[in-house]
Amino acid sequence: MDVGTAEKKDCLESLRRSLAERFDDRAAVREQHGKDWSRLPAALPDAVVFAESEEDVRVVLETCQEFAVPVVAQGHQSSLEGHILPVQGGVVLNMTRMNQILRVNEDDFDAVVQPGVTRKQLNLHVRDKGLFFPVDPGADATLGGMASTRASGTNAVRYGTMREAVTAARIVLPGGRVVQAGSRARKSSSGYDLVRLFVGSEGTLGIFTELTVRLHPIPEAVSVGICPFETVAGAIAAVVDAMRYGLRVARMEFMDALSIEMANSYSALGLRVAPTLFVEFDGSPAEVTASSEVFGEIVAQHGGIDFSWSQDPAQRNRLWQARHESLYATNAWRPNAEVWRTDVCVPISRLADSILAAQADIEASGIAAKILGHVGDGNFHVAYLIDPNDSAQRDGVRGMIERLNLRAISYGGTVSGEQGIGILKLPYLIGEHGEPAIETMALIKNAIDPKGIMNPGKMGSDVGMFAALQAAKGEAAS
């Protein structure tokens, strides 16, 4: 989208007048809002608005629509695929000041929050009521950002993702109309499912100003187990059996041998260097004991070595330590390395194939990379460690990421289990969904955002898709 300089200037002046000190176009503030956690280069917005109310958001979307100026909403800025980079400039809406928890309905197990509330903030707030919010993508992200990317994390296998967690939302559309989507009912057959259309739309259709999210009772008991395996295939076979048995799995995490080696190096844990499953069950004390014992029998049938588990909180933390510290262990392993992270999600029947092929690819490349995943869901991440002085390694990793994505598609899976599309995954969107689905997405995008001001250069609009495709190829060639 080309925005005339005069129009943009008028737009910014109008916003400055309307929003007073919530409007900021100083260079340092713009720079701060030009990056995320992805490996992409920064992209400068023309100005930043620190929204403090729905009315602020409404004014921005009305004004930017009038002048056809891009709008990109940002929360914790922890996206890994470039979602929030203002690649066509325009206005960044910083949503972090809209951080009020408006209401907790204990009997209904839900809370109404502003989009700048973080998941940890919400959990701290509801803990005394015996409730918790389960979706945990690692970073202490804002709920608005998590809803926008359809985030999930370790316990999605039991509690679902943001797709299931958000039951209602207030959304400002380009032009400034405010939609109330969904209700506080736990289920509904009333009308098109606007909530789930906007969840995962990555700021390309509208901006959340209020979310109603489901909470869950804190389980009475939790048990955690850890089990190294002789082979990756054995570990995954145990996962399938546990799911088939209907065990009340709250988390089911896999770490490969290198992940364990890094963890040992980081914290002297002395774990056996082998493909390893971490599992968590919740429920009553009797239930979790029973589940742990059944799981012990299952792992024994698949080459599991020395399964240990505990309900004791201190012991549980010790068992989870390798998994919890995984991010830091990776960063510490080769402190100067560039870490590129990606994820895919496949049907569980193809999980072993997917992980083994990724491993073979890594071994053939000679580049260090660890694999870990939320295997109960068929979702896994690869973190590649690139020597920044060896640009050939970047090309090698780009090739591996491409093959990883294409294999996920060929296995009936998806190129993003939870990190989202952003910019880096755009080239694979057509391969996964096919042209008719992408065209349908573009029809919806154009109907709701006819001027293409919402997070342009990202998914939805043809123009954005192909521009981003070219940008990604340019980045790949750089």
Of 124-153, binders to a second copy (CB under 8 A) are 130, 149-152
Mask for 459-478, x = binds a second copy (CB under 8 A): xx------------------
Report CA dihedral (115, 120, 122, 127) to the nearest 10 degrees.
170
Cα atoms in the 13 Å half-sphere on the side-chain side of 150: 17
Mask for 395-414, x = binds a second copy (CB under 8 A): -------------x---xxx
What residues have CB less than 8 Å from 30, skipping those under 6 apart? 44, 45, 46, 47, 48, 92
Mask for 437-456, x = binds a second copy (CB under 8 A): xxxxx-xxxxxx--------
Of 157-176, binders to a second copy (CB under 8 A) are 157, 160-161, 163-164, 173
**Considering only CA atoms, which of 453, 451, 455 is closest in space to residue 468?**
455
The answer to whether 111 contacts a second copy (rule: CB under 8 A) is: no
Distance between CA atoms of 280 and 374, rounded to whole angstroms? 12
What residues have CB less than 8 Å from 150, skipping those under 6 apart? 161, 162, 163, 199, 200, 418, 420
Among 245, 305, 318, 327, binds a second copy (CB under 8 A): 245
C-beta of residue 257 within 8 angstroms of C-beta of residue 209: no
Please report which residue ranges of 20-51 form alpha helices under DSSP H.
Answer: 27-32
Q: In angstroms, what is the minimal distance from the CB of 201 to a second copy?
A: 6
Mask for 28-67, x = binds a second copy (CB under 8 A): ----------------------------------------
The answer to whether 246 contacts a second copy (rule: CB under 8 A) is: yes
Strands, E assignment, 286-410: 308-310, 338-345, 368-374, 379-386
Among 214, 259, 418, 468, binds a second copy (CB under 8 A): 418
The answer to whether 424 contacts a second copy (rule: CB under 8 A) is: no
Among 85, 93, 207, 348, binds a second copy (CB under 8 A): 348
Q: In angstroms, what is the minimal distance from the CB of 292 to a second copy?
A: 12
Of 359-378, binders to a second copy (CB under 8 A) are 377-378
Q: In angstroms, what is the minimal distance from the CB of 59 to a second copy?
A: 17
Distance between CA atoms of 285 and 307, rounded to whole angstroms? 19
Taking phi first (over 0 means left), then psi (-120 to 50 degrees means alpha), and beta for anything else, what does residue 210 get? Answer: beta
Q: In angstroms, what is the minimal distance from the CB of 283 to a second copy?
A: 7
Among 69, 156, 227, 319, binds a second copy (CB under 8 A): 156
Distance between CA atoms of 25 and 34, rounded to whole angstroms? 12
The answer to whether 110 contacts a second copy (rule: CB under 8 A) is: yes
Q: What tokens does 315 get?
A: 């012991």
**Considering only CA atoms, which of 41, 122, 33, 38 is closest in space to residue 73?**
33
Of 181-240, binders to a second copy (CB under 8 A) are 181, 183-194, 196-197, 199-201, 205, 216-217, 219-220, 240
Q: Which is nearer to a second copy, 236 or 329 (CB)?
A: 236
Q: Which is nearer to a second copy, 92 or 348 (CB)?
A: 348
The one-character DSSP state at 42 is P
The answer to whether 419 contacts a second copy (rule: CB under 8 A) is: yes
The answer to whether 434 contacts a second copy (rule: CB under 8 A) is: yes
Mask for 273-292, x = binds a second copy (CB under 8 A): ----------xx-xx--xx-
Query: Backbone phi, then psi, for 32, in 5-degree steps?
Result: -60, -30
Among 101, 233, 269, 294, binds a second copy (CB under 8 A): 294
